[in-house]
């Protein structure tokens, strides 16, 4: 029997990430090749943006995706989020050259209070929310706090792009394939302070840390490369990452909904106090997922270097949160 369609809201649907994301959702890459979808697309109430959205929808129509059962355009989150099972919150201003993601806080924070409230009012009680718009962790925190009747665990932030970047750097360094690397994670904020951690990682069963055996490379090449990759792409392309961000959003939601079969991945989730991260802080953790729920991997040893890095990224997140306090209920 055919499955009931799932309702997926995407905000910023006419933007660059939207253009790389929508076609893949409609194609079944995110929720499965047997899962029909309804797309509920939100853009700002600006004539140009709405017209661009119509153009994207015309192209989606022209793909004749068998899994796409319905598609609607919206300028009001209260209609866009009605009964949604998944909400991918992309719509926000991107940074330009020379900016840090936290410089976007002021410009973007307001969007996530409004959208958190709308999700609270009209979304499915089981909605899975992924915040992509930067600064992603703090925006996800704002949306979560603005939606007090929804479970906090339904709100997540995208660290998957950092995770995928780290995978590909480790594969290149060790001369191995990304598909063979397991147990890698990224702790903390989606910012240059994130801590990509391969201490527990294995490749074909061998320890990545032992294979690399180079703490100088870890501290001075690997971490800055992953941490500053977004800026390097802005510098090279003149625009921030879009296709790789859309790909990471697909990976994040797919793994959350369909499970990781015991494998680790990274999600930004509200802390339950694990590893001394204050409860509620939207923090990148190693997780496994099953039956639509994520679980933070427990019991990992945190050595002095790792603790220092975790403290640094936590400090930044705490400061960002202080900066938006006035917007929260």
Ligand X SMILES: O=C([O-])CC(=O)C(=O)O
Ligand Y SMILES: NC(=O)C1=CN([C@@H]2O[C@H](COP(=O)(O)OP(=O)(O)OC[C@H]3O[C@@H](n4cnc5c(N)ncnc54)[C@H](O)[C@@H]3O)[C@@H](O)[C@H]2O)C=CC1
44 binds ligand Y (CB under 6 A): yes
The interface partner of residue 233, options being ligand Y, ligand X, none and the CB cut-off 5 to 8 Å by kind, is: ligand X
Nearer to ligand X, 28 or 192 (CB): 192
Rounded to the nearest whole angstrom, what is the least distance from the CB of residue 260 to ligand Y in the complex?
19
Handedness of CA 295, 27, 165, 205 (dihedral sign): positive
Paired tokens of 293: 């729920």
Whether 190 is a known active-site residue: answer yes
Distance, C-alpha 221 to centroid of its chain = 24
7 is in an annotated binding site: no
Rounded to the nearest whole angstrom, what is the least distance from the CB of residue 143 to ligand X in the complex?
17
115 is in an annotated binding site: yes
Dmax over CA atoms of the chain, in Å, equals 56
Question: What is the per-residue binding string for ligand Y in 172-191, x denoting contact by CB under 6 A?
Answer: ------------------x-
Q: Which DSSP helix (H) or strand (E) runs through 35?
A: none
- Give the Cα separation of 165 and 163 in Å (integer): 5
- Give the Cα separation of 324 and 329 in Å (integer): 11
238 is in an annotated binding site: no
12 binds ligand Y (CB under 6 A): yes
Paired tokens of 153: 């665990």
- Give the Cα separation of 294 and 142 in Å (integer): 20
101 binds ligand X (CB under 6 A): yes
Closest by CA position to 271, among listed 287, 290, 254, 250? 287
Restricting to residues 235-294, name those near ligand X by CB under 6 A.
240-241
Binding site for ligand Y (CB under 6 A): 11-12, 14-18, 42-44, 49, 90-95, 111, 132-134, 136, 158, 161, 190, 240-242, 245
Binding-site annotation, residues for substrate: 95, 101, 134, 165
Q: Give the residue numbers annotated as catalytic, written as ranges.
A: 190
């Amino acid at each position: 029997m055919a499955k009931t369609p799932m309702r997926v809201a995407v905000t910023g649907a006419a933007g660059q990430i939207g253009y790389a994301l929508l076609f893949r959702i409609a194609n079944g890459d995110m929720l499965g090749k047997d899962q029909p979808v309804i797309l509920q697309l939100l853009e700002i109430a600006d004539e140009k943006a709405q017209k661009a959205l119509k153009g994207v929808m015309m192209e989606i129509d022209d793909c004749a995706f068998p899994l796409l059962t319905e598609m609607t355009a919206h300028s009001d989150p209260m209609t866009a989020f009605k009964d949604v099972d998944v909400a991918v919150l992309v719509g926000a201003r991107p940074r330009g050259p020379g900016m840090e993601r936290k410089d976007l806080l002021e410009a973007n924070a307001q969007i996530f209070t409004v959208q958190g409230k709308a999700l609270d009012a009209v979304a499915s009680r089981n909605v899975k929310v992924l915040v992509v718009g930067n600064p992603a962790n703090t925006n996800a925190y704002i949306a979560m706090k603005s939606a007090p009747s929804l479970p906090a665990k339904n709100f997540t932030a995208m660290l998957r792009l950092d995770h995928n970047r780290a995978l590909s750097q480790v594969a290149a360094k060790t001369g191995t394939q990304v598909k063979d690397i397991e147990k890698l994670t990224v702790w903390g904020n989606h910012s240059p302070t994130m801590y990509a951690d391969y201490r527990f990682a294995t490749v074909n069963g061998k320890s990545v840390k032992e294979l690399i055996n180079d703490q100088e490379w870890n501290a001075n090449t690997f971490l800055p490369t992953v941490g500053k990759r977004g800026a390097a792409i802005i510098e090279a392309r003149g625009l921030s990452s879009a296709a790789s961000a859309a790909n990471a959003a697909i990976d994040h939601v797919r793994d959350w909904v369909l499970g990781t079969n015991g494998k680790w991945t990274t999600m930004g989730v509200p802390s339950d106090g694990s590893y001394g991260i204050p409860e509620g802080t939207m923090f990148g953790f190693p997780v496994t997922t099953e039956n639509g729920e994520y679980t933070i991997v427990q019991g990992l040893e945190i050595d002095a270097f790792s603790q220092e890095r975790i403290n640094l990224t936590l400090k930044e997140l705490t400061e960002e949160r202080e900066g938006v306090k006035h917007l929260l209920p």
